[in-house]
Structure 1
Amino acid sequence: MTNEKWTPVPIVPYNIKYLVSNLGNVKSIDRLVKYRQKTSKIIAKRIYPGRLLKQATSVEGYKFVALKIDGKTKQIYVHRLVAMAFVDGYDEGLVVNHKNENKTDNRYTNLEWCTQKYNANYGTRNERMRKSLIKTKKGNHHENTI
């Protein structure tokens, strides 16, 4: 089993608040927060430990996380964060391919940078699309009845 390794998220300014792992996890870092106590005017400090972020699933089936900076939230796909941090070969315009075709498997060993054309024709996608189209055509077939 691969040991989980963490590195700052490879997108500025999120790199100061979040970490991404080679196994597809994202977490916030420990942070020191100043606050005013309710019963006095004393400003206190508290350390909030970092936590694993919840991952949601997009309508396309990909996992994403919501990263926040200065009150603004940005949703970012986990596979892109992992690939940017741990997979060599990034270049502008490339996309991330899941080698095993499982959109939720965001381990760095399952990801590769590729062109959109390569990704669209990868693996069993074309065969699955063909079967889906055949099924749709059969489902829409209506016989004339008198």
Structure 2
Amino acid sequence: MEIWRVVSSNDNYLVSNLGKIRHKKKKKALVPVYDKDGYQTVKLYRNGKYKTVKVHRIVAFEFCKGYDETKEVDHINRIRNDNRAINLQWLTHAQNNARKAEYGK
């Protein structure tokens, strides 16, 4: 079941546990683009400016427990465009690097 929550950092948008982001009033889904590292990003508009953000970080912040500013988001199945909350977890930098070494990504 898809669950929608307001994006804490920009209340003009909603994010779902399935990794989708849409404009709150317009109900229009944002189309992500890929950054140079293969992660999906979207541009969120607020106060006359756009800010590019990574989709997996928004989903993890709103749906995954364990956030603290020193942690990074890990894609459990190693697929960078699988931004479902069930596939994301917060890890320390050392833990994330260990998983990258283990899986080669």
- For residues 27 and 104 of structure 2, what CA distance do their matches in structure 1 show? 41
How big is each residue's C-alpha offset from its partner over 1:39-75, in whole Å with a ceiling of 9 and x where there is no partner? xxxxxxxxxx320001000110000110011220100
Q: Which structure has more RCO (C-alpha within 8 Å, separation ≥ 6)?
A: 2
| Unaligned residue ranges in structure 1 (runs of 5+) | 31-48, 130-146
Aligned runs of 1:1-146 on 2, under 5 Å? Answer: 3-11=1-9, 14-15=10-11, 17-30=12-25, 49-122=26-99, 125-126=101-102, 128=104
Q: Which amino acid aligns with 2:5?
A: T
Question: Any unmatched runs of 5+ in structure 2?
Answer: none
Question: Structure 1 residue 91: deviation in Å?
Answer: 0.9
AA partner of residue 59 (structure 2) = V
RMSD of Structure 2 on Structure 1 (CA): 1.4
Percent of aligned pairs with the same amino acid: 37
| Deviation of 1:127 (Å) | 5.8
Offset at 1:117?
Answer: 1.1
Pairwise CA distance, 1:78: 0.5
Q: C-alpha deviations, 1:70-106, integer Å up to 9, x for none?
A: 2201000000000000001111210000000001000
Report how many aligned residue pairs link the two structures. 105
TM-score (structure 1 length as normaliser): 0.68
**Letter aligned with residue 24 of structure 1:** G
TM-score normalized by structure 2? 0.93
